[in-house]
């Protein structure tokens, strides 16, 4: 597991989340269509997955398509969905070779049936892999995830399967998409923007945030290492007094 000396403290990183931002601006700066920015972003995904595995990260969650992204043009959505299809068809071989497990979080009901089938096949094929869990957040929204969890719990209370008094934050976690995953140690957002954008709202309650000026298609291993180094300098107190 990646670790760094920080005084007498050694900080281990298990889970990193990334809000991948800047594909459109990268393409515009180069005089290219937005679709080329998304394709370059897909290449950056592979680089980052390889780097995360190399440095011993256990979980890498990538914000691939938010529930708000449906507001984009039909042409751009189709391009993104085609890139997703291509990734699921062709990268599963790489994931198996690299011993990487794929998990997908988010609401699948709005995805086309062929994409859902590809997701299920990739998850099943890679489920025994141990080196890294790559989590793709697709049609995902943090508020929607929390609301869906609340509905499930309310239904169980209504049927008497659980009591309202038994509900606490630990129980609630069992109804989230990320059940059995550790909360992210830190979340990176690229392109200089400083917003959460509805990403892992519950899970990031105590996560550190690192905002990078790098546009996502230009994100490389060195940028991940810079984020790891910055995280090593943070003091996570979880509500306690500074030591």
List residues with catalytic annotation: 21, 69
How many angstroms separate the CA atoms of 22 and 207, rounded?
22
Nearest to 119 by CA among 111, 110, 128: 111
Q: In this structure, are residues 4 and 11 in contact, taking their beta carbons and an 8 Å threshold?
A: yes
3-class DSSP string for 70-127: HHCCHHHHHHHHHHHHHHHHHHHHHHHHCCEEEEEECCCCCCCHHHHHHHHHHHHHHC
Nearest CA to 205 out of 2, 17, 9, 5 is that of 17
Strand 186-189 with 3-6, pairing: unpaired
């Amino acid at each position: 597991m990646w670790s760094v000396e920080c005084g007498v403290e050694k900080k281990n990183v298990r889970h990193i989340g990334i809000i991948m931002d800047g594909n459109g601006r990268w393409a515009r700066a180069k005089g290219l269509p937005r679709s080329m920015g998304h394709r370059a972003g897909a290449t950056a995904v592979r680089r980052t997955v390889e780097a995360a595995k190399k440095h011993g990260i256990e979980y890498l969650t990538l914000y691939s398509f938010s529930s708000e992204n449906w507001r984009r043009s039909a042409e751009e959505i189709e391009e993104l969905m085609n890139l997703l299809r291509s990734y699921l068809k062709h990268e599963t071989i790489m994931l198996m070779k690299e011993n990487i497990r794929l998990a997908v979080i988010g609401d699948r009901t709005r995805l086309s049936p062929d994409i859902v089938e590809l997701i299920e096949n990739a998850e099943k094929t890679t489920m025994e892999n141990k080196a890294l869990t790559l989590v793709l957040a697709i049609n995902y929204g943090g508020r929607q995830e929390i609301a869906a969890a609340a509905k499930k719990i309310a239904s169980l209370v209504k049927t008497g399967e659980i009591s309202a008094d038994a509900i606490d934050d630990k129980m609630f976690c069992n109804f989230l998409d990320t059940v059995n995953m550790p909360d992210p140690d830190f979340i990176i957002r690229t392109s200089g923007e400083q917003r959460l954008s509805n990403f892992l709202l519950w899970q990031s309650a105590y996560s550190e945030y690192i905002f990078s000026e790098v546009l996502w298609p230009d994100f490389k291993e060195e940028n991940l290492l810079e984020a790891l180094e910055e995280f090593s300098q943070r003091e996570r107190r979880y509500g306690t007094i500074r030591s």
